[in-house]
Structure 1
Amino acid sequence: MRYFMMMLTCSLSCLPVFEADAEEVNITPDVVYGHKFGLAMTFDVFTPEKEANGAAVLFMVSGGWYSKWSPPEGLQVRFRALTDKGFTVFAVRHGSSPRFSIAEAVADVRRSVRFIRLNAEKFQIDPDRIGVFGMSAGGHLSLMLGTASDEGDPNAKDPVLKVSDRVQAVVAFVAPTDLQVMAEDAPDRLPVYAQFPALEINQETAAENSPLLHVSSDDSPTLLLAGVKDELVPIFHSRNIQAAFGKAGVTNKLIEFGNAGHGFRGEDLAAATQAMVAWFEEHLNK
């Protein structure tokens, strides 16, 4: 249960908190980017009032592939490091475990990128400057967008599906990259994974949604942030995909935090946040 709660809350609680005034950022809550089973899929938008740089950064609201709603006013200060630099931030929720699978979560966040790009003018962003970040399961979803996206289906009836879901930069915190080792039939599966309904999958299904197996030369520039002492998502996940990126010629960087586990605090969190912002500035600014 300890690991379950850690992964569930990491996507929000591990974000840095800054002082912020309400008037500095315009919040547009609960924008609907799709529907399924009679339910709306939503995101919140945090737009800097002054000196917006035109680039978008999506945050994957996901821990253990659970995606929970929380008042956007509480998230505002946690995105301050990005909005202060002019980035418009989108907090994207997906269909949550245990009702929805990892594959469905991946499909949801892909749609969110397509929807945001299709409506780039409305959100006052550049459709060719979209980044994504997330922590733990949110990091996994970010990597799936960076490694397994497409240009859209020109024959689709839904105009959203005609649009590309590619992103131009990825930052992944403590992210699972090979779900095969977490699947039910994995020979060396860690017992803790039995606590996560989303991981009630076999290795074949896991392979389809493992970023490590989708790495190719056209992937997005990716920054990996990992804790050496992580017992839930061991650091080999980040090391292995970094090696694959290097072999494919993908721009990438791995920063290891020697004393960190699954989630960062204090100086580690500050350093990771600084590295994330710098990565987006390098790869999303004109």
Structure 2
Amino acid sequence: MVSRILLCITIAIIPCASYLHAEITITPDVVYGHKSGLAMTFDVFRPTDNANGAGVLFMVSGGWFSSWSPPEQTQGMFKPLTDQGFTVFAVRHGSSPKFSIPEAVADVRRSVRFLRSNAERFKVDPERLGVYGYSAGGHLSLMLGTASDEGDENAQDPLDRVSDRVATVVAFVAPTDLRIMVNHNPNRLPAYDRFPALNLDMESAKAGSPLVHVTPDDPPTLLIAGDKDDLVPISHSRNIQAAFEAAKVKSQLIEVAGAGHGFQGEDARKSTEEMVNWFKLHLAP
């Protein structure tokens, strides 16, 4: 499930500071938490002139691998959003194979709690936060949409008292039912052997499946998938769309005819346009 977009990103080293780049302010490596002696970070891409007060989290994840890249090399992929005034947060999580899918889910939930707690610092409305991602990033986006909470008022960590709910979700080619993907399922696709994150027991797979968490209070969700995807079959998106409809959750599934796991050319342009329009509609002031 490695996103083709993420595979194109090269590695380099940059100073940890804010700087201006092509009409946006980039703030790299903001620390939103720690675990195993490591910092969990995100990069911020904020329009300098037309910020609309809404924030969009991008899940940096392909195959539940999450890697660092220089933000000046990745900011182009966020341009369709920053051009429309959205502040984008590129969120990294504890990466496979060291960390598991449940840990990745916990990490990105913490990132939302952190952003909500620091909304004034980043000049965004804490109630106008959206999320999107591709493949594993789409899965994590859906987990934020379907399996979040209002926070635990009795938690020791102040951040855990804060809601990690988001206002809307866009999920591209997203796995929605891990139970049919983990190594305990004899019928799973052989391609999944390449992804150590799927080494889960069935109980963990169920807990990490957005499909089983759908409830009527889920946020508006846009699903985009190729109908010829042989890695994450479109049935994943169709099944959760049916669950959203049954729960009366505002949702839409766009099936890209002839597309596989990742879009090229006009398919990529149109799907990006649909994503931006969805955020414009559901994150308006």
- For Structure 1 versus Structure 2, the TM-score category normalised by the shorter chain is over 0.9
1:26-48 alpha-carbon deviations (Å, 9 max, x no partner)? 00000000000100000000000
Would you say the 8 A contact 1:10–1:135 is kept in 2? no
Tell me which amino acid in the other structure corresponds to 1:281: K
Give the corresponding residue for 1:250.
Answer: 249
What RMSD over aligned residues (CA atoms) do the two structures have, in Å?
1.3
Partners of 1:192 and 1:23 in 2: how far apart?
A: 40
| 2:168 paired with 1:169 | yes
1:87-138 alpha-carbon deviations (Å, 9 max, x no partner)? 0000000000000000000000000000000000000000000000000000
Give the corresponding residue for 2:279.
Answer: 280
Would you say the 8 A contact 2:3–2:262 is kept in 1? no
Would you say the 8 A contact 1:11–1:138 is kept in 2? no
| 2:1 paired with 1:12 | no
Give the corresponding residue for 1:4.
Answer: none
After superposing on structure 2, the runs of 4+ consecutive aligned residues of structure 1 that deviate more than 4 Å are none
Tell me which amino acid in the other structure corresponds to 1:242: Q
Tell me which amino acid in the other structure corresponds to 1:10: R
| 2:140 paired with 1:146 | no
Give the corresponding residue for 1:3.
Answer: none
1:120-167 alpha-carbon deviations (Å, 9 max, x no partner)? 000000000000000000000000000000000111121111110000
Matches within 5 A, 1:20-35: 22-35=21-34
Give the corresponding residue for 2:60.
Answer: 61
Deviation at 1:232, TM superposition (A): 0.3
Partners of 2:273 and 2:102 in 1: how far apart?
A: 31
Partners of 1:208 and 1:11 in 2: how far apart?
A: 28
Matches within 5 A, 1:56-205: 56-205=55-204
Would you say the 8 A contact 1:11–1:61 is kept in 2? no
1:57-96 alpha-carbon deviations (Å, 9 max, x no partner)? 0000000000000000011111000000000000000000
Partners of 1:27 and 1:204 in 2: how far apart?
A: 40
Give the corresponding residue for 1:221.
Answer: 220
Deviation at 1:205, TM superposition (A): 1.4
Tell me which amino acid in the other structure corresponds to 1:41: M
Partners of 1:74 and 1:161 in 2: how far apart?
A: 33
* SS of corresponding position for 1:255: strand
1:263-283 alpha-carbon deviations (Å, 9 max, x no partner)? 011000000000000000000
Partners of 2:8 and 2:279 in 1: how far apart?
A: 19
Would you say the 8 A contact 1:242–1:254 is kept in 2? yes
Query: Structure 1 residues 175, 11: closer, same or farther in 2, change over 3 A?
Result: farther
Q: Any stretches of 5+ residues in structure 1 without a counterpart?
A: 1-6, 16-20
Would you say the 8 A contact 1:57–1:131 is kept in 2? yes
Partners of 1:80 and 1:150 in 2: how far apart?
A: 31
Q: State the percentage of identical aligned residues.
A: 67
Would you say the 8 A contact 2:82–2:88 is kept in 1? yes
Query: Structure 1 residues 141, 48: closer, same or farther in 2, change over 3 A?
Result: same
Partners of 2:201 and 2:8 in 1: how far apart?
A: 30
Partners of 1:26 and 1:237 in 2: how far apart?
A: 37
Deviation at 1:11, TM superposition (A): 4.9
| 2:233 paired with 1:234 | yes
Would you say the 8 A contact 1:66–1:98 is kept in 2? yes
TM-score normalised over the length of structure 1: 0.94
Deviation at 1:202, TM superposition (A): 2.3
Partners of 1:87 and 1:74 in 2: how far apart?
A: 19
* SS of corresponding position for 1:279: helix
Deviation at 1:14, TM superposition (A): 8.3
Partners of 1:14 and 1:235 in 2: how far apart?
A: 24
Partners of 1:57 and 1:276 in 2: how far apart?
A: 11
Q: Normalized per residue, which structure has more helix?
A: 1
* SS of corresponding position for 2:106: helix
Q: Any stretches of 5+ residues in structure 2 without a counterpart?
A: 10-19
Query: Structure 1 residues 278, 40: closer, same or farther in 2, change over 3 A?
Result: same
